[in-house]
Amino acid sequence: MQITRRVPHIRSFKASVITVFALFILANITDIPFFKTFAPIVTAKALAALDPNAPLVIPADVPTSGDASLDQIIFKAGDKFGVDPRLVHAVILQESRYVSDAKSGAGAQGLMQLMPGTAKRFGCDDSNDVEKNVNAGTKYLRVLLKRFDGDVVLALAGYNAGEGNVDKYKGVPPFPETENYVRKITGNYGKTYHPVVKPEEARVVFHLTQGDDPAAE
């Protein structure tokens, strides 16, 4: 299935960006869990109104890798596993800069830099296979987000340093690499809370269907 990318209305897009940025700054300055408090609530009415056959449209505010086919893989993974594709992009950007055959000195491989054990855990038998790598990494993000109640900071810390270390230190482990990792990704993503929703609800919450792009309003 081909997925198209929505081009924003410039004026409304700029206004949306300014508004979101202002709210993000306010939430961080006041230490109010803004995004969690005002997270979208998926109603039965909204789900009922969602046409399962409606074409998926990549919203204009979703980043691009520069490769349309890769963008579609990332978008489909987010839709399938209930993870905001914007967050998946932010993780891939930090992990591999979209280099599909990237490999770290520690042995992490592919776009989402999966360690062999993690790849096996989430059904990826070839970390250099772009789709398998993205699917496995996205599934892992979902598990972490659910485990840490939608706390993006802790989920990212777990992705980088391991869930056990987050438990051990009762927060972000005091490792410079992990602290920098979390800071950069949350900065790019722009949120510290990610609603934990069912995959079928993701299209509503993250505005992934045609005619449901907040940037176009």
Residue 51, C-beta contacts closer than 8 angstroms, at least 6 positions apart: 209
What pLDDT score does 57 carry?
Answer: 79
Structure tokens at 154: 């802790």
Quickly state the pLDDT bin for 207 (edges 50, 70, 90).
confident
What pLDDT score does 10 carry?
Answer: 47
Look up the pTM and report it: 0.78
Quickly state the pLDDT bin for 18 (edges 50, 70, 90).
low
**Chain segment 184-193, per-residue pLDDT in tens:** 999 999 999 9
Q: Whose structure tokens read 């995959």?
A: 199
Separation CA 208–CA 95 (nearest Å): 24
List 95, 177, 179, 200, catalytic entry: 95
**Total Cβ atoms within 10 A of residue 108:** 18
Separation CA 60–CA 74 (nearest Å): 15
Q: What percent of the chain shows pLDDT beyond 90?
A: 65
Amino acid making up residue 88? V
- Write down the H helix ranges in the chain: 10-30, 34-37, 44-49, 68-81, 85-96, 116-121, 130-147, 152-161, 163-169, 176-189, 199-205
CA distances from 171 to 140, 178, 179 (A): 18, 11, 11
Separation CA 196–CA 55 (nearest Å): 23
Say which DSSP state 151 is in.
Answer: B
What pLDDT score does 209 carry?
Answer: 73
What pLDDT score does 23 carry?
Answer: 52
Say which DSSP state 33 is in.
Answer: -
Separation CA 70–CA 179 (nearest Å): 28
Mean pLDDT, the chain, integer: 83
Separation CA 155–CA 157 (nearest Å): 5
Say which DSSP state 103 is in.
Answer: B
pLDDT tops 70 at residue 29: no
Structure tokens at 15: 């206004």
95: annotated active-site residue: yes
Beta partners for residue 66, in sequence order: none
What pLDDT score does 85 carry?
Answer: 97
**Chain segment 111-156, per-residue pLDDT in tens:** 999 999 999 999 999 999 999 999 999 999 999 999 999 999 999 9
